[in-house]
Amino acid sequence: MKYFPAFLDLRRRPCLVVGGGTLASHKARALLRAGARVRVVAPRLDRSLSALQRAGRVTARRRAFRDRDLEGCVLVIAATDDAAVNRAVYRGSRRRRIPCNVVDQPALCSFIFPSVLRRGDLVIAISTGGSGPALSRRLRLELQRTIGAEYATFLRLLHEARRRLRRGLPDLAARKRAVYRLLDSPALSLVRAGRLAQARAVLGKRVAAAIRAGPGRS
């Protein structure tokens, strides 16, 4: 395996984006969705990044990149069309042992971005290790057709049900069996049909039954 797959918790963590164009804007917005505190460094910002700065969502320095811009960052993305700047960002990040991605230059990356499908808290990441990004995107599009928005709603209901199970069924093995019975219930089909109250009721009944049965029979 060329890369180790992981999901990073970047909430309230400082991350740096070097570049002011479309790619930089796209990466900055992805970091913001993850709750990161985003800094941007570039001589010029496109309209999207300028709007983010005016809204106070990113901190921007409108100048050339300096090595000290890396201080305190936990993750760095370089998205410029200047090869020398990209190399400088990568070298500086490597010296500080900060994960760095130079967009579309795998040789200057300590991590790469997967193709991502999001359905609420459900996140599916697909990677070919840089060998075939187009295939990753094709697979994501195929998954989009089968994994719809109903999964986000179902996951919220499942989270509610699991919280009730944790309170009422301390036994871990029994709780695990109960969760699989929730997944095998018709709740997802009901959500897909727009019958949210019935889906919640189905899950609620299965949770109650598991708690009544206890560790031995749930």
* CB-CB contact of 88 with 95 (8 Å): no
pLDDT of residue 129: 85
Task: Quote the pTM value.
Answer: 0.84
Produce one character per residue of 197-216: b if its CB has 16 or more CB atoms within 10 Å, e if not.
Answer: eebbebbeebbeebbeeeee
In terms of CATH, what superfamily is 14-112? NAD(P)-binding Rossmann-like Domain (3.40.50.720)
Q: How confident is the model at residue 163 (pLDDT cuts 50, 70, 90)?
A: very high
Do residues 114 and 52 lie in contact, with contact meaning Cβ atoms separated by under 8 Å?
Answer: no
pLDDT in tens, 105-152: 989 999 999 999 999 999 999 998 878 889 999 999 999 999 999 999
Tokens encoding 139: 């697979």
Kindly report each contact of residues 53-59 with a partner whose C-beta sits within 8 Å and lies 24 or more positions away, as own/partner.
57/32, 58/17, 58/28, 58/32
Q: What is the pLDDT of residue 159?
A: 97
Q: Is the pLDDT of residue 50 over 80?
A: yes
- Report the distance separating Cα 218 and Cα 198, nearest Å: 22
> What's the rounded mean pLDDT across residues 165-175?
94
Model confidence at 218: pLDDT above 60: no
Average pLDDT over residues 180-205: 97
- The 10 Å CB-count burial string (b at 16+, else e) for 127-139 is bbeeeebeebeeb
Strands 100-102, 75-78: pairing kind: parallel
Give the containing element (helix H, strand E) for 186. Answer: none
Residue 61 clears pLDDT 60, i.e. is over it: yes
Q: pLDDT grade, residue 3 (50/70/90)?
A: confident
| AA identity, residue 61 | R
The secondary element (H helix, E strand) that includes residue 22 is helix 22-33
Mean pLDDT, rounded, for 38-56: 97
pLDDT of amino acid 214: 86
CA distance 109 to 129: 12
Task: List pLDDT tens digits, range 73-118.
Answer: 999 999 999 999 999 999 999 999 999 999 989 899 999 999 999 9
Residues 6+ apart with CB under 8 A from 200: 157, 160, 187
pLDDT mean over 50-56: 98
Sign (positive or negative) of CA dihedral 205, 207, 210, 211: negative
In this structure, are residues 203 and 210 in contact, taking their beta carbons and an 8 Å threshold?
Answer: no
Q: Does 3.30.160 match the CATH number of domain 114-147?
A: yes
Can you give the residue ranges of every domain in the chain? 14-112, 114-147, 150-217
Quickly tell me which residue has 């395996």 as its tokens. 1
Residue 74: per-residue pLDDT: 98
